[in-house]
Amino acid sequence: MSIPGKIVPEALKTLGKDNATVSYPKDKRTMPDRFRGAVEFEPEPCTGCGMCERHCAADAIVVEADADGNVTWSYDVAKCMFCGQCEESCPTDAIVMGKEFELAASDKPAFEDSYTFKR
């Protein structure tokens, strides 16, 4: 039967419930294991193959090599859309999706990350 105020019992029950949200900067949820945050890079295993750059839809990763065999791997977290394809495409597991998600900054260079190493 339809009556107005059908949810009164539910509403009164809700009064006794805990908050549905966490008080964010004070309390934080733990992120699940598979959470995809900012990319973490390890230069040691990297071969400079450039697969990550090739498969990055957002052009957040750039891999450059100079004549001396120096590889520069750079990453712009502001462009990144956290799909994780670079991690998937990397043949040597040099790229891992990290857990960091508080990524706001007020100056542009803070978003950029760059490694130069010899190959």
Partner 1 sequence: MSEKASGTEIPVGPQHPSLKEPANFTLTVDGEVITGAQMKLSYNHRGIEQAVLSKSYIEAIYLLERICGICSHAHTSAFTQGVEELLDLEVPPRARYIRTLIGELERIHSHMLWLGVAGHEIGFDTLWQYAWRDREIVMDLLEEITGNRVHYSINTIGGVREDLTDEHCETILEGMDDLAERIDFYQETVPNEETVRMRCEDVGVVPEDLAREYCAVGAVGRASGVPTDVRKDAPYAAYDDVDFDVITDDRGDLLARTVVRIGEIAQAIRIIRQVAKRIPEGDLKASAKPPQALLAQVPEDDVVSRYEAPRGELIHYVRADGTDTPARVHIRVPTLANWPTVVESLKGSYIADTPIVVAGIDPCISCTSRIGVETDGNHGGENAFDLDELREYGIEWYDDRSDVERPSLDGDERTVSGGTRGDRA
Partner 2 sequence: MSLELDLATGLLYLLVFPGFAFLFVYGLTAEYLDRKLYARLQNRVGPPVVQPLADFLKLLAKESAVPEDATARIYNAAPWTGLAGVFTAMLYVPVWSEQAAFAFEGDLVVVLFLLSLPSFSLFFGGWYSGNVFSRIGTTRTITQLFGYEIPFFLACFAPAVAAGTLSTSGIVAFVEANPLYVFVLLPAFAIALLSLQAKLERIPFDIPEAETELATGALVEYSGRKLALFRLTKDVELVVGAALLSALFLGGPAPAGAIEGSVGLVAGVVVFFVKTLTVIALLTVLKAVVARLRIEQMVDVFYRVLVPVALVQIALVLAVGLYTNGVIP
Binding site for partner 2 (CB under 8 A): 4-8, 11-12, 14-15, 17, 19-21, 23
Neighbours of 98 (CB within 10 A): 15
Query: Which lies closer to partner 1 via its Cβ, residue 88 or residue 116?
Result: 88
Other residues' Cβ atoms within 10 Å of the Cβ of residue 51: 19
| Partner in contact with 90, chosen from partner 1, partner 2, none, beta carbon below 5 to 8 Å by kind | none
Number of Cβ within 10 Å of residue 4's Cβ equals 6
Q: Which of 43, 74, 84, 96 binds partner 1 (CB under 8 A)?
A: 84
How far is it, in rounded angstroms, from Cα 101 to Cα 73? 21
Residues from 9 through 68 that contact partner 1 (CB under 8 A): 10-11, 14, 20, 32, 34-36, 51, 54-58
